[in-house]
Amino acid sequence: MKFNRYKMGYFFFMHCEMVSHLIIQSASIFSTKIKGKVWKKQKNDISQYKKHIKTLLFIFIITGKIFPQQYDINFKSFSSKDGIYDISITSIAKDQRNILWLGTPAGLYLYDGHFAQPYPDNKILSSCNIKYLLKDKDEIIWVGTYSNGLFSINVENNRINHYLNSKDDTSSIASNRLNAIAQDEDGNIWIATENNGINKYISKSNNFLNIKISDNIKSGNLNRVNTVLAISHDPYQKGILWLGTLDGLVKYNTRSGKMKKYKCTKDNIATPRSFNSRENTVKAIYCEKDVLYLGTWGGGLCIFDKSSGNWDCIKFQSAFPASGMRNDVTQIVPKSKNQLWILAYKQPLGIFSKKDKKLNFLSKKGIKVIYPDDDNNLWFGTGKNGLLALFPQMEQFKKIKLPFALENTVFSPDKNSFYSGVFFKNILLKYDLTHNNYKTYTFSPFFDKGKNFITGIQFDKDNNIYLLGLTGLYKFDEEKEKILKVWSPFDYPGNEDKIISTTTFYIDKNENCWMGTKFDGLYVYNIRNGEVKHYAPYKEEAHTAWISSFAENNKGNIWFGSGRGFGYYSPERDSFIEFQNSIENTFPDSLPFTSVTSVFQDKNGIVWIGSLKKGLGYFDPNSTSEIKIHTFTTESSNLSDDRIFQLLSDKKGDIWVLTGNGISRISGYGKKIVNFGKESGLLGLRNIGFNGKNKMFLSSNSGFYSFKPDEVKPDTSLPEIHITGFKIFNKEYKNEKNIDFIDTIFLTYKQNFFSVEFTGINYSNPDNIHYGYMLEGLNDQWISTGKRRYIAFTNVGGGEYDLQIKATTGKNRAGKIKSIKIIITPPFWQTLWFWILFSIVLLSLIYVAIHYRITNIRKKEQIKREFENRLIEVKLVALQSRMNPHFLFNSLNSIKLLTLEKQTEKASAYLTKFSKLIRLILRSSNSILVPLSDEIELLRLYIDMESLRFDDEFEYKITVSPNINVDKYQVPPMIIQVFVENAIKHGLRAKESNKKLEIAFDIDDSYIICTVWDNGIGRKAASRYRSSTMQQKESMGINIARERLTHIYRLRDKKARVNIVDMYENEIATGTKVTIYFPIITKS
């Protein structure tokens, strides 16, 4: 309904409606008694003007009357549009996730700022009557009920314990009806019960200790004292609990077990005449250092002095007859250092001043419970109107509630009052800021066509008040309390039949009143001489759009804004300079602003322009270079809205902007922009004003707000992300822990269709939260979901993913990112271990196949090699058999020669050694390798034979290195003999004297090194004395030896070497040196 927001106005209109009906009915009755058409016609005319009669009666009732006002609390309301439907809230708590728990007569609800839902998966909790909620130091939520006992809920793992009274168990809770729950400094939980005193919860045994007050206090009504209505831990005295009972106040020392009862009497109360004994029924306790504030059931608000035991009770209703229906205080909560919030039965919310001990009630009714959370927010549960909140930033803006929507606020010269028009009514309102009251004044319009209301208020230099109505200019005579007509555009020649609306006005320093109109240009009326100028549409330079605002600079130029742009009037040139998109202008690009709503020049001469659609900007009109407009929009800055309605400067020079979303403060020409809107409790703003001192005022649809511009701070709270659900194929994910406390979720490859539900908690501005997510491992880009609070994933492959969700508010101000790991086990054929095992098996098969192939190849190679080795051995035997006859032939020739020369003894010795030599040769003939000792022995025999043969013409010497074990190492037989034979026959034989032959054996890491040295004539000289046959024999012997070496060691993958060097001294041959390198082979 139109007047729902204006309760007083609606009330007056209902009475006006009744009065107007009475007038019309009287006229009808009167017309029936008097004959004649005239009276019937008058009756019809009265019916036609029924609405005007009603308006006049309303104006008559309120005109000239003084209405006292007081500041109202600027609550934020959460109701059905915020997800809270038809629930009566009797208790509130907030868990570590910042989620609100709401206790109601119809069960327990959880609320995140978006939707209140019953506590899940518990039929009892979702239906029982909740009396009390408490969050303890361990983040456990305790739930006390009217008849269903006690619950404890571990938020992290969803574990619920339900405690009920059992008559057979003395360690059970004493009663199923609970009145209050408290926690002391040691972390103990205490429960106030009905008729059974208090219970202490024993966490180790998970049971209760029942403590009856009547067991400790024997005086008074013992039945009533066991009903404990309130319980409070005293933070100023260790181990002390204060208990409010039906029979007085009890102090309980939890450490000593002692109790003491305090009762209010006529002797200890400050006002004995008001004593009615209901003061001793204590329902609420708030503890301070020296006093207790007690809410009583019929005794009002009582102040109990801890040291003296005296009482001071403040009653806000009649004390007699004594009744629990009056002076019933149900809750006490601190508001500030000197004030308390007070809840009383069937009373509005109250504020108690400790200093003057006065209790004032506000307009807000129906509040059942107050809950101060850990973030300094106050929550108010109501019976029918949902949930209310009071955030710290909202208290910066003090609100006065009025039954009007105010327009165009202007302060009086003394700054102690302001004047404002009432939207869509021909009423002027004057508000006295000193006494917090207001008066209203009405005026008669120039021309009764359409609506009539005030569109502007200005003071002239003599402090006369001028008003601009929709149809003309007025002057307010405050002494006579009359609004006088001054001038109207309808008075201008040619305008008699026009419908002209005056939209805004400004009185310049020359006392010219500039009036803007809707599509009829500008009128300038001099309030001293009555001279009028009209800048009409037919003039090319005139402005023809809707003119919205004026401002005057220090040069006397009149700036204006309109629907086409903005410009100014130059008195020097008596002409207009306009900046608009439709004409050529001085700006480098097309004009960034149309639909200009406000023009303002700051103290530095900078012109600010606000537009209806494109934000605001500023420029220096005195710039000598090209003029450039610096713009601010929601995209380019922190501005909250591009719809600008008004611009104003405070004492510091900061620019305040009225936008479609509240107000913004611009400091340092845009270096810092802060916004205040719904989160600060600002709703329905219409105008902004500054009193020139230290306060600003915001007129609204239901009164006005006041604040100190230097002290207000914006809401810096950031939304918190919490996971509220995880579904797999649309079925809830089951886990022992609450989903919001799970860091990692494990899924199988068959569970790769899942969805995540979440919420962003920012109670001060829940409608402005936007969400985004990123699933690392699948994509690395943030994806926006807007205001949607769930995301779904389909056919996600196996792997490890990191799901990150963020919530942003304002200009991308993001809270802490919520992260949860999701590990999807892939099918076994996609797992690493499968591929490792598969690779091992595959490599094994490949290895087996290759090994089998290599084995076959090796077998074939072995057979081939064995065949080749056998072939080599046969060849070696053949070579050896070729070499041995050669040696035998030479030896037998030597014996024959000795016999022919009749050297019998030499022949006999030679023959003896020859026989030994033959035995050695025969023994080694079947061996490829022989011990080095045998080979040395063979060489000795052979050299001795050759020495006998040549009459001992040469000396020889065989040396063996001590590092050589001659029995261990093996060498091919008859190799060295060939080179020794050549040394004797071809090197020494041709030498005349001093013939020497040396054979040396040495060893290194790889070889047995045999050196055969002679000091003969050398190979070149010897070749000249040899016959061709002998050369062939030499070549044959050495070649056979080399070939034998090659084949013998190739069988063993080794290589032997033979080096033959001619020795020279002064270019004369001094012998030959042969070095044979036998690879080391030991005797196996």
Q: Quick: pLDDT tens for 770-783.
A: 999 999 988 889 99
Q: Please answer whether residues 515 and 532 qualify as being in contact, where contact means their C-beta atoms are separated by less than 8 angstroms.
A: no
Q: Please answer whether residues 517 and 499 qualify as being in contact, where contact means their C-beta atoms are separated by less than 8 angstroms.
A: no
Q: Please answer whether residues 1010 and 1043 qualify as being in contact, where contact means their C-beta atoms are separated by less than 8 angstroms.
A: no
Identify the burial level of 572 via C-beta atoms within 10 angstroms of its C-beta, where 0-12 means exposed, 13-18 middle and 19 or more buried.
Answer: exposed
Q: Please answer whether residues 735 and 750 qualify as being in contact, where contact means their C-beta atoms are separated by less than 8 angstroms.
A: no
Per-residue pLDDT tens over the stretch 507-521: 999 999 999 988 788
CA distances (Å), origin 379, targets 94, 285, 367, 732, 1057: 10, 19, 10, 32, 106
Angstrom distance (rounded) from CA 565 to CA 629 = 13
Lowest mean per-residue pLDDT among 188-197, 215-224, 767-776, 1029-1038? 1029-1038
User: Which one is predicted more confidently, 169 or 555?
Assistant: 169
* DSSP labels, 476-501: EETTTTEEEEEE-GGGSTT-TT----
User: Which one is predicted more confidently, 881 or 323?
Assistant: 323
Amino acid at 6: Y
pLDDT of amino acid 523 = 92
Per-residue exposure over 690-708, b if at least 16 CB sit within 10 Å of its own CB, e if not: bbeeebbbbbbebbbbbbe
Q: Please answer whether residues 756 and 791 qualify as being in contact, where contact means their C-beta atoms are separated by less than 8 angstroms.
A: yes
Other CB atoms within 10 Å distance of the CB of residue 196 = 21
Unique residue bearing structure tokens 């095992």:
837
Angstrom distance (rounded) from CA 678 to CA 666 = 18
Unique residue bearing structure tokens 């361990």:
138
Q: Taking Cα atoms as reference points, which of 1069, 959, 984 lies closest to residue 1021?
A: 1069
pLDDT of amino acid 64 = 56
Tell me the HSE value of 885 on the side-chain side, using a 13 A CA sphere. Answer: 6
Identify the burial level of 1002 via C-beta atoms within 10 angstroms of its C-beta, where 0-12 means exposed, 13-18 middle and 19 or more buried.
Answer: middle
Q: Please answer whether residues 548 and 564 qualify as being in contact, where contact means their C-beta atoms are separated by less than 8 angstroms.
A: no
Angstrom distance (rounded) from CA 282 to CA 242 = 10
Other CB atoms within 10 Å distance of the CB of residue 920 = 19
Angstrom distance (rounded) from CA 409 to CA 700 = 10
Mean pLDDT is highest, among 245-259, 682-696, 867-881, for 245-259
The alpha carbon of 97 is separated from its chain's Cα centroid by a whole number of angstroms, namely: 14
Q: Taking Cα atoms as reference points, which of 119, 104, 115 lies closest to residue 82?
A: 115
Per-residue exposure over 582-595, b if at least 16 CB sit within 10 Å of its own CB, e if not: eeebeeeeebbbbb
Lowest mean per-residue pLDDT among 13-27, 135-149, 661-675, 715-729? 13-27
- Give the confidence band of 1 by pLDDT, cuts at 50, 70, 90: very low
pLDDT surpasses 70 at 677: yes
* DSSP labels, 241-281: EEEEETTEEEEEETTT--EEEE---TTTBS-GGG--SGGG-
Per-residue pLDDT tens over the stretch 362-415: 888 899 999 999 989 999 999 888 899 999 888 889 888 898 899 888 999 888
Tell me the HSE value of 291 on the side-chain side, using a 13 A CA sphere. Answer: 12
User: Which one is predicted more confidently, 785 or 3?
Assistant: 785
Q: C-alpha dihedral over 355, 358, 362, 368, to 10 degrees?
A: 90
Average of per-residue pLDDT across 919-938 = 83
Q: ω before 321 within 30° of 0 (cis)?
A: yes
Q: Tokens in use for 701?
A: 């649809």
- Strand 259-262 with 311-314, pairing: unpaired
Write out 339-378 in H/E/C secondary structure: EEEEEECCCCCEEEECCCCEEEECCCCCEEEEEECCCCCE
- Give the confidence band of 28 by pLDDT, cuts at 50, 70, 90: very low
Q: Taking Cα atoms as reference points, which of 507, 415, 420, 423 lies closest to residue 458?
A: 507
Q: What angle do CA 340, 705, 702 make, to 5 degrees?
A: 100
The alpha carbon of 217 is separated from its chain's Cα centroid by a whole number of angstroms, namely: 56
Question: Average pLDDT over the chain, rounded to whole?
Answer: 84
H or E element: which one contains 468? strand 465-469
Q: What share of the chain is helix, strand, coil (3-state, %, to 5)?
A: 20, 40, 40
Q: Taking Cα atoms as reference points, which of 711, 907, 746, 882 lies closest to residue 820?
A: 746
Q: Report percent pLDDT > 70 for the chain.
A: 87
- Strand 472-477 with 685-690, pairing: unpaired
Average of per-residue pLDDT across 599-625 = 87
pLDDT surpasses 80 at 874: no
Q: Tokens in use for 229?
A: 């209505």
pTM of this prediction exceeds 0.85: no
The alpha carbon of 328 is separated from its chain's Cα centroid by a whole number of angstroms, namely: 46
Q: Taking Cα atoms as reference points, which of 633, 626, 825, 711 lies closest to residue 395?
A: 711
Q: Please state at what angle helix 832-900 crosses helix 932-949, rounded to 10 degrees.
A: 20
pLDDT of amino acid 872 = 58
For residue 72, give every residue at least 6 positions away whose Cβ sits within 8 Å of its Cβ, in sequence order, or none: 362, 363, 364, 399, 400, 401, 703
pLDDT of amino acid 451 = 66
- Strand 398-401 with 954-960, pairing: unpaired
Q: At 521, is the secondary structure helix, strand, or coil?
A: coil
Per-residue pLDDT tens over the stretch 161-215: 999 999 999 999 999 999 999 999 999 999 999 999 999 999 999 999 999 999 9
Tell me the HSE value of 1038 on the side-chain side, using a 13 A CA sphere. Answer: 16
Average of per-residue pLDDT across 616-621 = 89
CA distances (Å), origin 270, targets 303, 305, 355: 10, 11, 16
For residue 406, give every residue at least 6 positions away whose Cβ sits within 8 Å of its Cβ, in sequence order, or none: 420, 421, 422, 423, 429, 686, 687, 699, 700, 703, 704
H or E element: which one contains 562? strand 558-562
Angstrom distance (rounded) from CA 134 to CA 94 = 9
pLDDT of amino acid 774 = 95
The alpha carbon of 634 is separated from its chain's Cα centroid by a whole number of angstroms, namely: 23
pLDDT surpasses 50 at 616: yes
- Give the confidence band of 496 by pLDDT, cuts at 50, 70, 90: confident
Query: CA 389, 393, 395, 398 torsion: positive or negative?
Result: negative
Average of per-residue pLDDT across 12-39 = 37
